[in-house]
Homo-oligomer: A and B are copies of this chain.
Amino acid sequence: WEGEFFPVIPKIKYEGPSSKNPLAYKYYNSEEEILGKKMKDWLRFSVAFWHTFRGTGVDIFGAGTKNWPWEDGTNSVAMSKRRMRAFFEFLNKLGVDKWCFHDRDIAPDGKTLEESNANLDEVVALAKTLQGTRIRPLWGTAQLFVHPRYMHGGATSSELGVYAYAAAQVKKALEVTHYLGGENYVFWGGREGYQTLLITDMERELDHMARFLEAAVAYKKKIGFNGTLLIEPKPQEPTKHQYDWDAATTANFLRKYGLIDEFKLNIECNHATLSGHTCHHELETARINGLLGTIDANSGDPQIGWDTDQFLTDLGEATMVMLSVIKNGGIAPGGFNFDAKLRRESTDVEDLFIAHIGGMDTMARGLRNAAKLIQDGSLAELVRKRYESFDSEIGAQIEAGKADFEILEKKAMEWSDPMVASAKQELAEMIFQSAL
């Protein structure tokens, strides 16, 4: 393959809200400052190699639909390298400087682990060159769910040999992430869960998972990798029940096994809604538990019970997400990875660009809206006033753990029936909407 992979696609530029050009940013203006920080530094966008360059449009009822011109139908090392060059051209045209990858998506499985590792090394060396000084992985990870050997899990497989194989694969993936200058490393345990408890020793499997993660921590330190380790919660699919169901479940696991200071969470919006929570709830739960690490910016369909991995285009949701991020002071060294895929029926090369531009502009609007809300201040004031009875002497006593039931009973009798103010939810929603 010679020349450009996307010859008809220009470098994507900011043209402002009035532009009708699908191949331009209307809201994302990377260098513009919002609340004292550049948009690109709030948003830290990353493209997911797997969906964008390995997504074929396969679904459970149908074959692949994409015929990207650069693909030759093989999964050879040569093809992997050509694909990697196309990927970096894509990043450069979008103006994005971060990327995320699975080991087995960027390089083919070999006949042996050694051969797989060699394949990976060869592709990674190219990626390192292509990265130059500007581009780095937001995070890397090992793919422990596609190969049939992982059908019972990786770290939680009932087979010892698989556990060891998974360990070897994560070891290597940590090494290459480190080599490429990655800032984070993510564990998504797609098959770490069960199909039925009838045949599952859940306690033993969870113990194994903890041992596995401890070993990962040890190895990370050994090789001097200073990136953050993260777990990505998901409630189910492919398993009936994944162990890392949601942020709180994962936090409980980390606390139980003494791993709470070694990991953070990668929150995915579509996973959040599948687990019965809003994305905002999961972000806030992570934040409150000191675990807000990085974000998979995508979205599901509220009437659909599986992971649709759509680009997030809902302004309200994007604004809520950015409110959490701003509250957290940003999420660096985390960022926004587009763990989102083209619809199966979108088959033009330009659709890859349009989808990312749409997703980036939505997050950019979310950031602008959230900033507007914060600068306006009336929503924050409404919240402050709701709790102001606790900004008192007895409130302080309670919050310090010094108000026992006898003191409180005495106060309750003294005060007789307490006044309870309106929550003013509709007013809050009106203020919120006005910022969109």
Segment 43-72 of A: residues with Cβ below 8 Å from B: 57-65
Judge if A149 is at the interface, Cβ distance under 8 Å. yes
Listed A/B pairs (23) with beta-carbon separation below 8 Å: A60-B60, A60-B306, A151-B420, A152-B345, A152-B420, A159-B418, A159-B420, A164-B408, A164-B418, A196-B429, A197-B281, A197-B284, A198-B425, A199-B425, A207-B399, A237-B306, A240-B304, A305-B305, A311-B426, A315-B316, A345-B425, A351-B422, A362-B433
Determine the interface band of chain A, counting residues with CB < 8 A from chain B.
Answer: 35 or more
Considering only CB atoms, which chain B residue lies closest to A433 in the complex?
Answer: B313
Q: Are A168 and B413 in contact (CB under 8 A)?
A: yes
Judge if A231 is at the interface, Cβ distance under 8 Å. no
Interface segment among A82-90, A123-131, A272-280: the answer is: A272-280
Q: Nearest chain B CB to A212's CB is how many angstroms away? A: 8
Judge if A4 is at the interface, Cβ distance under 8 Å. no
Instruction: Give A203 to B423 CA distance when docked, in angstroms.
Output: 17
Considering only CB atoms, which chain B residue lies closest to A430 in the complex?
Answer: B358
CB-CB < 8 A to A405: which residues of B? 167-168, 170-171, 215-216, 218-219
Segment 302-331 of A: residues with Cβ below 8 Å from B: 302-307, 311, 313-316, 320
* CB-CB under 8 A for A198 and B305, given A61-B146, A252-B252, A355-B426: no
Q: Nearest chain B CB to A29's CB is how many angstroms away? A: 16
Stoichiometry (number of copies): 4
Q: Are B112 and A430 in contact (CB under 8 A)?
A: no
| Residues 187-222 of chain A, each 1 if its beta carbon lies under 8 Å from chain B, else 0 | 000110001111111111011100100111011000
- Interface-centre pick from A253, A289, A429 (highest chain B CB count, 10 A): A429
Interface segment among A30-38, A92-100, A380-388: the answer is: A380-388
* CB-CB under 8 A for A60 and B59, given A170-B405, A383-B201: yes
Q: Are B151 and A62 in contact (CB under 8 A)?
A: yes
Judge if A6 is at the interface, Cβ distance under 8 Å. no
Q: Nearest chain B CB to A113's CB is how many angstroms away? A: 5
Q: Nearest chain B CB to A138's CB is how many angstroms away? A: 21
